[in-house]
Amino acid sequence: MVQKRVLVTGGGTGIGLAIARQLASDRHDVTISGRSAETLAEVGLPYVVMDVTSEASVQSTFAELGDVDILISNAGAAQTAPLLKTSLATWQAMLDVNLTGAFLCARAALPSMINSGWGRMVVVASTSSLKAYPYTGAYTASKHGVMGLVKTLALELAKTGVTVNAVCPGFSDTPLLTRSVENIVNTTGMDEDQALAALLKDNPMKRAVEPAEVAAAVQYLVSDAAAATNGQAVVIDGGELAG
């Protein structure tokens, strides 16, 4: 595959970092973004500081970067609470980073792809894009919205040479999972092993997804071989949604 210009949002840690390293190893020109220059600088890849929830930040970053061939929209956050105890601030924060962030980056990146007749956008969504979990109302609503965005863009761009897809990991071995385990320990009295088991109870493999496994799916989706794969939710969850 010819070298492509890649931007990975939220590329400083976890799944985003695994994707960035995989695509860099494929000899693509990879830039990562995030809100912490200190975290990004430790990775060793070219980076830009960008807040995906800010239209001005997204616009100025893409103006600085120039045309991008592959957009990996990975930046995201998760906050949990029963829906009736979810504040408006938490609700809005989940929509802003998970859904509006993907929208703003799509709007900035896709025009140049359309003009060139080739492009790939992959959104790192979640199994929460396809099913509901208790105590995750704001997060689940935002991730369901992401899949609506992916499907709409896929249909609108189907004749342009640009594809838009999502990967939907289950609970993955990332700092986000670590924080989720800590939250359960602090609120329930479970130990860490019990908390992790509770999170993985619906996963037939009973293990967290490895970020490299998600990166491998993304590697395919951005390839020429995936030219007809469009508007899809590629699930990497150990079989959780098969049940």
Please identify every residue annotated as catalytic.
139
Tokens 């079989």 — which residue?
239
**Distance between CA 148 and CA 106 in Å, rounded?**
13
Q: What is the helix (H) or strand (E) element at residue 38, kind and residue range? A: helix 37-41
Please report how the helices 192-199 and 175-188 are oriented relative to each other, as an axis angle in degrees rounded to 10.
110
Identify the three-state secondary structure at position 204: coil
- Total Cβ atoms within 10 A of residue 220: 14
From first CA to last CA, the distance across the chain in angstroms is 37
Q: What is the helix (H) or strand (E) element at residue 140, kind and residue range? A: helix 137-156
Tokens 């592959």 — which residue?
70
Count CA atoms closer than 13 A to 28's CA, side-chain side.
24
**Distance between CA 95 and CA 79 in Å, rounded?**
11
